[in-house]
Amino acid sequence: MTRWLKTLGYSVICAALSMGALAEKTAVNTAHPAGFVARIELDGPIGPAAAEYFDNAMQRASNDGATAVVLRLDTPGGLSESMRQIIASILAAKLPVLGYVAPGGARAASAGAYILYACHIAAMAPATHLGAATPVSLGGSTPMPSPWQGDQPAPSKSTDKASSDKTAPAGGQAANDAESNKVLNDAIAYIRSLAQLRERNPEWAEQAVRGAATLTATEALDKRVIDFVAADTTTLLTQADGRNVRVGTQMLTLKLANLPVRDYTPNWRTRFLAIITNPTIAYVLLLAGVYGLILEAFHPGAFLPGIVGGICLLIGLYALQLLPVDYAGLALMVLGIGLLITEVLVPTAGAVGIGGVISFVIGSIMLFNTGVPGYAVNLGVIAGIAFCAIALLALILRWVMRSRQTQLFSSDVLMLQATGQLLQAVTAGGESWAHVQGERWRVHCEAALPAGARVRVLRRQGLMLWVTPA
């Protein structure tokens, strides 16, 4: 009995020691988790889908315990609102963000330059470039740069009143210039504030906005626009290791060397949003929705055109509210479709239809005329749809012209040329029945004729035909 108690005591002590060692090991692992670097890739134009993808990926990386985030950029630019949303996420991030323009041949143009300036670390791969950050207004006009740039002195404000009166633009032009200067100065202040926050070259940042200046990777390094040039992600992490960056209100020393890299790809919602916010796709969805509802109206009860058209129209309208739409262009498109429908219902020898095609094409070109790379409807698609509309209009006009030359099938004029056959014998000046043009008619004849005789119609009086021997 004593031996069993000793054995049980030893077993309890060993189990306790094992559990303590396991708890200690677990505590050590919890206190020092294995770190990794999250990689987010922004390829193509910066739009609502890209902004949503970046926000979601940053949140997932933070929740997963990432040590830092590598933001790989290859973009021609994009929408200002989406760009500012991404930059706001970077500035509010609890993780250091390493902006990296890669691979070779990539660029961080326009909105990409702002995003790169906002990152805690900025790097570029060889054979890449950045810049050309001049903002473009909704109408597609680019604010003109001032004749002075960089550290050159601004022109004096004290000018002769007479000369200023001579050079003063008209009211509309002055308003446009004021609008352009407002957008331009706001963009300059925005990128300079980012440059000062990250201690990078603010003078060149202003030149990139004011004069659309660009730099290669080596030139950007010489001008203190980026921190270093890295050939790949591994080299990027090695060069960033040991650097001090400010994340929020804290100074952090990066420990990134030899850390694994985990890619964060877009989810299905982001991919779907990227598809429908493509201006060309949104444009086609809008047209498919309109024409589907029109077909349903002309053929009630078909259901399929109406259902498909309604779905396409709702998705297209959702995409339009995310994109910078020129509503004058949208109104011209609607007017053009209305004129084409009018031409079908009330043929006007093509006058209304031609006006509808012109209105539709001009409205399509104006619809997304922002001047932002990647955010305009493909001209080939517009030309194809316009060609189809012209072909349909020509076909309708051809049918109209052929209908005017078609032989008459029913009228008094056609009846006077018709012949028929008596169904019953008729006496002189009497009445009988005859088969004329596939119909049974009551006939009056001045001559006596047997049944089956051929007769020719002379005239019609009400429902009576006056006939004579054919």
Predicted confidence at residue 127, as pLDDT, reads 94
Say whether pLDDT at 9 is over 60.
Answer: no
Read off the pLDDT band of 123 (50, 70, 90): very high
| Residues 240, 230: Cα–Cα separation, whole Å | 10
Q: What is the pLDDT of residues 260-270, one digit of tens each?
A: 999 999 988 88
* Residue 68 reports pLDDT greater than 80: yes
Segment 16-38, tens digit of pLDDT: 444 444 443 333 333 234 589 99
Residues 6+ apart with CB under 8 A from 323: 47, 48, 79, 277, 279, 282, 368, 375
User: Rg of the chain's alpha carbons, rounded to an integer?
Assistant: 39
pTM tops 0.85, yes or no: no
Residues in Cβ contact with 73 at an 8 Å cutoff, skipping those fewer than 6 apart: 42, 99, 100, 101, 102, 106, 108, 112, 115, 116
For residues 133 and 202, the answer to whether their CB atoms sit within 8 Å is no
pLDDT of res. 409: 54
Give the residue, 160 or 212, on which the prediction is more confident: 212
Say yes or no to pLDDT of 160 above 60.
Answer: no
Amino acid 148: pLDDT: 35
**How would residue 4 be classed by pLDDT, with cut points 50, 70 and 90?**
very low
Q: Identify whether the C-beta of residue 436 lies closer than 8 Å to the C-beta of residue 457.
A: yes
Q: Residues 132, 208: contact at Cβ < 8 Å?
A: yes
What average pLDDT does range 177-200 have in this prediction?
Answer: 89
SS3 of 439, please?
strand
145-149, 404-408, 446-450: least confident range: 145-149
Percent of residues, the chain, with pLDDT higher than 70: 79
Distance separating alpha carbons of residues 67 and 258, to the nearest angstrom? 12
Q: What is the pLDDT of residue 369?
A: 58
Are 126 and 101 spatial neighbours (Cβ–Cβ below 8 Å)? no
d(CA 168, CA 149): 22
Least confident of 131-145, 249-263, 314-328: 131-145
**CA angle, residues 29, 33, 34, in degrees to nearest 5:** 120
Q: Tens digits of per-residue pLDDT, 77-105?
A: 888 889 999 999 999 999 999 999 999 99
d(CA 370, CA 364): 13
Residue 7 pLDDT exceeds 80 = no
Average pLDDT value over all residues in the chain: 80
Question: 372-415, pLDDT tens digit by residue?
Answer: 666 778 788 888 888 887 887 788 778 777 766 665 555 666 67
The model's confidence at residue 364, banded by pLDDT at 50, 70 and 90, is confident
- Cβ contacts of 132 within 8 Å, gap of 6 or more: 77, 109, 110, 113, 208, 212, 213, 214
Say which residue, 90 or 10, is predicted with more confidence: 90
* Pairwise pLDDT comparison (138 vs 247), residue with the higher score: 247
Q: Structure tokens of 168?
A: 């003063």
Residues 6 or more apart whose Cβ sits within 8 Å of residue 255: 35, 67, 241, 242
Answer yes or no: is pLDDT of 274 > 50.
yes
Q: What is the pLDDT of residue 167?
A: 40
Strand partners, 195: none
